[in-house]
Amino acid sequence: MSYEVPHFIQGKKISASNRKLEIYDPVQGKLAGHVLVADRQIVQQAILAAKQAFKTWSLTTPSQRTKILFRFKALLDKNIEALAKLVTQEHGKTLAEAIGSVQRGIDVVDFTCGITHHLKGVFTDHVATGIDCYSLHQPLGVCIGITPFNFPAMIPLWMFPMALACGNTFVLKPSEKDPSCSLRLVELAQEAGVPDGVVNIVHGDKETVDALLIHPDVNAISFVGSSTVAEYVYKTGMTHHKRVQAFGGAKNHCIVMPDADLDQAAEQLVAAAYGSAGERCMAISVVVAVSDETADKLIANMKIKITHLKIGSGFSADSDVGPLVTQAHLERVQSYIALGKEEGAKLIVDGSQYKPKEFTNGFFMGACLFDHVQPHMRIYKEEIFGPVLCIVRVANFDDGLKLINEHEYGNGTAIFTRDGYIARTFADQVQVGMVGINLPVPVPVAYHSFGGWKRSIFSDIGMYGSEAIRFYTKLKTVTQRWMPRISS
């Protein structure tokens, strides 16, 4: 049965819209429903609701906000499987992956429950005779979040709970490809006691995004998506005097040294490259094998493990990999396979045309593995965002490190080695924001912060943890002197 996903403004579902966009079931490859598109009037309505709610929410004490966030976390814990099913239904990733992603979002909500400690100011008395100085963290106002299709629960939970904890109000624009889970998150926040207008949702496409980016009552913008769009969001927002953090694309390399446990490395790399059908900004997409011997052994190991991957519906308990999100995205990824062969890379595992027998119309493809990839190739330089892994062979560690540091992206990276000196040198010298040692997907825990370097981020402030507090507050420093009263 077809369904429709509405906006959520001032505590109510809003079905007004002149346009709708299609939502597909990626397993069956058929139309499942529609999501409304917010025009400028709907955007104005949402921002006005958030602006008005800010007047009282910003004056709510941090401890009162924390009580609501505790209730919100409890509701998320209670509903984690239902939320994950919404993710799997519209995105396609396996239910186990969806549950894990929702949990990573809940971890950030858990961090917000201790916000009272992190919002404490700093006080120094007697900076000069009779003069004191103190600093405060104050909320910004109306903040917006524009989130991608690949994590429709996790990334919204990385944004709006942090903004609310710091005393801001929020308008969320989730991906139009899989919007249902984000709507349910906001409904649960409302159920937890978040007042009307404090968090709102509008759906749409570029027209909606542009209306949000330039609105004079928006104070801060948080975005996750491709680097091209991230740069556009950053420049547009900054031009209109917003605070902006815009997270872009990635081409995450993993160096494999000759001394590494190659069986362990192969197992983890297959999961890191092909999990969630490669639709992750932290997916490993390039393996840098140090020496031909290392490459040959690693590839032989990986090919065995790839053959054991089970591709099917995300709701099937034995599926390791689900479908891609849309037909258009599937065709885009498949076009990179053809391009890689044209460029001269050796396609040693080709799952580009694979379809499970029971889901021949679904947006599926199998794992693809390229060997002898060269740095000048587009399949090396560009983010593919699908189940495609490239092997680049280098002679030594220094060449591998240089390769990574010269790439335009700097989101995540990793190394497999038993050599502590090499590992420490790598962590110290690699020009990438998030680094893994003997683990390939180094997403920081909630009480640290997430963020890449170079064209993987257009901002100097990361996401969640202490970095989010910097982003969602403005610093005010007061210097005071009180003179004694003069008796009359």
Catalytic residue numbers read 281
Q: What's the CA gap between 418 and 401, in Å, rounded? A: 17
- C-alpha span between 125 and 118 (Å, rounded): 21
- H-helix or E-strand containing 219? strand 218-224
Bridge partner list, 14? 7
- Asked if residues 137 and 470 have their Cβ atoms less than 8 Å apart, the reply is no
- Among 10, 134, 5, 19, which Cα is nearest to 477's? 134
Instruction: Give the β-pairing of 473-481 and 131-139.
Output: antiparallel
Give every CB contact of residue 96 below 8 A, 6+ residues apart in sequence: none
- Name the residue with tokens 């942090």: 162
Token pair for 167: 């005393």
Reported for 240-243, long-range contacts at CB under 8 A and 24+ positions apart, including other chains, are 240/213, 240/214, 240/216, 242/213, 242/218, 243/140, 243/219, 243/471
Cβ proximity of 192 and 72 under 8 Å = yes
Q: Compute the distance between CA of residue 265 and CA of residue 287 in angstroms, rounded to an integer.
A: 10
User: CA-CA distance, 86 to 387, in Å (whole number)?
Assistant: 22
206-214 and 227-239 helices cross at what angle (nearest 10)? 30
